[in-house]
Amino acid sequence: MTVRPMWPLPRWWYISLLVAFVLATTLIVLNPLPADSITRAFARKVRTDRWAVATGILLFGIILAHIVGAQARYVLAKLLRLTGDTSEADAWSPAVVGVCEGILYPSALFIGKGDFIGVWLAIKVAGQWTRWAGDPVGAGAADMDALNQGRRRFNAFLVGNAISIMFGVLVWLALKVYVGIPAA
């Protein structure tokens, strides 16, 4: 059985995450102020003096969700004896989708459109359905192994999405606390 390594992407990806971590820290600590006209044009829920902090919090959320997700994927692959998905090419899809979710989930919650998360998850499930499906009625031993592998993959998928949603909620809460909604 070959399990994907914990850190399957090229070194430059992890260096980029480190650079994003430094950038997030810098934005939160220094809090540079953008032009007032720019901030009002993008989102009225973010205080004008907190745009840098909001960006830093989003970056931290993406980085932490990526690291925790990679570790969870590795541990689950070992525990659930999942095979396949060992190439670098297989690792890019969850990494890129995770970055998108790291922005989409807290943003959707912040603007009051949390139902978007359910729609997004439905699209993700529809795209993987055939990989998890199987017919246990009259299945032989080999078919049952395939069915069980599909079930384990689905459970790993659920755990990965739970982690992504938890980080999205945590980032949203951090945005509400540290960025705040301006007075009308």
**List of residues 6+ apart from 1 with CB closer than 8 A:** 81, 83
| pLDDT mean across residues, the chain | 82
Name the band, by pLDDT with cuts 50, 70 and 90, for residue 6: confident
Prediction pTM value: 0.78
Report the Cα 61 to chain-centroid distance in Å: 9
Q: What is the pLDDT of residues 10-54, one digit of tens each?
A: 899 999 999 999 999 999 999 888 766 666 666 666 677 888 898
Name the band, by pLDDT with cuts 50, 70 and 90, for residue 4: low
Torsion of CA 40, 43, 49, 55, to 10 degrees: -140
Q: Among 15-19, 60-64, 124-128, 137-141, name the one with the lowest average pLDDT.
A: 137-141
pLDDT at 150: 79
Question: In 110-156, at which residue ranges do the beta strands (DSSP E only) sit?
Answer: none
pLDDT at 132 over 80: no
Distances (CA, A) of 103 to 44, 117, 183: 18, 12, 25
Name the band, by pLDDT with cuts 50, 70 and 90, for residue 135: low
Count CB atoms within 10 A of the CB of residue 12: 9
Name the band, by pLDDT with cuts 50, 70 and 90, for residue 183: very low
Shortest CA distance to 162 belongs to which of 117, 107, 129, 131?
A: 117
Percent of the chain with pLDDT over 70: 79
